[in-house]
Amino acid sequence: MEHKRNIIHRLGYAASVMVLLAFVVGVYAAGVYQISHFNDKMLIPEGADNVLAQLDLNSRGTFRSPSGLEVAIDMGSRHSFITKDAVKHLESIGYPICKFPTLLLTHNYVGRYHVYTQKVSMPVRLPGPDGDCRLENCEMLIEDNEAGNIIGMDLLRYFVLEHEAATNRVKLLRNVPDDYVFVSHISATDRPIVSLSGIKRRVYITLAVNDANPADYFFDTGPSMAGLQLIQPLSNAKQATSPVVPDSITGLMTQQECRVMVGNRMKFAPVAYCDTVHTDDYSINPFNFFYPNDIVLDLPRMQLLYRANNR
């Protein structure tokens, strides 16, 4: 009898474990499905004009939207986000915005895991050369942080991005302009199970710094990288080939005038050493690093290009 009770107890325990495992797998699968399909119904305006939007960035890497919101173009964020205060503001001016419940464990815009329970579907209005550009059916996760109005890679991946160095202007294009030349391939990846769906929202470029072995640098244009060009782990400071001193603006330990190979081209740039302000061990802000070159990041075809007359 005791043996029978032990068997029943073990079977009950095993069943509980299986139910819990099925729940966890189900939640994870639902999350992967949501991540893989986030913003796959976004509609880009039809037309012949190549320039869809032009965004004038300030020193914080943000721009002012036609709706009065301060928004960041953040290639380091998988998702697009909107704050609760921004949602209230848009609702107060009659903006067409719909809220939906969700349950999604994913990275927030600074790369930390967070559980999101609400999202919105809305048109996103961006300043354009001839009036506003309106992207329809855009999904954004509702973020608690007041600085969390973010256009992330779930939206940006559909566009060719042009950055004009002299004006710090980012343009969303349909195609690469004729006056640009190829410099380097870039690559993209994501969580392994998400990558199987073909959705890859973490973009990298291979660089060699001071003759060290090449490394893949993660594109991050978010607010935490606004004043930075290249980031390496703090432990790499021991391998510096010239003095490492605190930067007068960022305060980070920095090695100035490092030699950096981009494809078959070389440029000099400072490398900051830090373990806290970025979402990958090796990170690059392309809007700062490639200055004074105008660049194009052709995200659909994974290419970096320079404007031909300022190579």
Cα 216 to chain center, whole Å? 16
d(CA 95, CA 88): 10
pLDDT confidence bin for 128, thresholds 50/70/90: very high
Considering only 3-7, 222-226, 236-240, which range has the smallest mean pLDDT? Answer: 3-7
Containing 153, the helix (H) or strand (E) segment is helix 153-156
Q: What angle do CA 65, 69, 71 make, to 5 degrees?
A: 75
| Per-residue model confidence as pLDDT tens digits over 257-306 | 999 999 889 999 999 998 876 568 899 999 999 999 999 999 999 999 99
DSSP 8-class letter at 43: B
| CB-CB contact of 159 with 280 (8 Å) | no
Q: Would you state the structure tokens that stand for residue 56, as one six-digit string? A: 């004038």
In contact, 268 and 281? CB cutoff 8 Å? no
The residues facing 106 across adjacent strands are: 114
d(CA 88, CA 227): 31
Task: Say which amino acid occupies 57.
Answer: L
What is the DSSP code (8-state) at residue 287?
H
Residue 216 pLDDT more than 80?
Answer: yes
Query: pTM for this structure?
Result: 0.84
pLDDT at 9 over 90: no
Q: Which residues contact 57 (CB under 8 A, 6 or more apart)?
A: 63, 73, 168, 169, 170, 287
Collapsing DSSP to helix, strand or coil, 114 comes out as strand
Distance from C-alpha of 141 to C-alpha of 99, rounded to nearest angstrom: 10
The amino acid that residue 87 corresponds to is V
Phi first, then psi: give them for residue 85, nearest 5 degrees. Answer: -65, -40
The fold for domain 180-310 equals Cathepsin D, subunit A; domain 1 (2.40.70)
Please give the pLDDT value at position 239.
87
